[in-house]
Amino acid sequence: MEATIALRLPRDAASVPLIRQILQATLDTLGVEEQIRDDIELMLSEACSNVIRHAGPSDEYTVSAGVHDDLCVIRVVDTGNGFDPRLVSEAPPPGAEHGRGIQIMRALADDIRFTNRAEHGAVVCLEKRLRFTPGAAASPFMGPFMGNDGAAATPGRRPGEAPTRPL
């Protein structure tokens, strides 16, 4: 099963609930377990909030999310000044109201990568393995889209051929 979402958003706090709701609804429709959906929602919120707070002069950012089989890959891309995640403190000072976003993302993601594009912003890539609710709503949708080998049929891919990873 595959699903892809890509949005260019204004660098404004009001954009975070929009992408969060879209991704949450998609994962819910696919039958992803609630705890996994909640983890993904929190990771996404933290990545987007960091762009809004820290990305510098950019007016917008992009979010893409792809689900392929049992993996969700999220990319949050800004065009700000970039940053070095190694310089971010592992633990914010006691009582600090901010500074936990990267630690939260690291705790929840199965894989996380930060890429700086010299003077052209940063890319945060988050990966999370998915678990599905037995008998979930996605079950009826999977049948017609399955290849003979039980793998999701993808345009341009023959049954039995290995799928490519999204994003």
From first to last of its 167 residues, the chain has per-residue pLDDT tens of: 789 999 999 999 999 999 999 999 999 999 999 999 999 999 999 999 999 988 877 789 999 999 999 999 999 999 887 776 676 656 666 665 666 788 899 999 999 999 987 677 889 999 999 999 987 755 434 443 333 344 444 444 444 455 555 44
Instruction: Give the Å distances, CA to CA, from 153 to 1, 5, 36, 161.
Output: 8, 19, 25, 10
Q: What is the rounded CA–CA span in Å between residue 25 and residue 19? A: 10
Write the CATH number of the domain with boundaries 2-145: 3.30.565.10
Query: For 31-159, where are the alpha helices, taking DSSP H only?
Result: 34-54, 101-108, 138-142
Could you tell me the two tokens for 99? 């500074």
Domain residue spans of the chain? 2-145
Q: Exposed, middle or buried by CB within 10 Å (0-12, 13-18, 19+), for 71? A: middle
Its pTM stands at 0.75
Q: Which of 97, 129, 116 is nearest to 27 (CA)?
A: 129
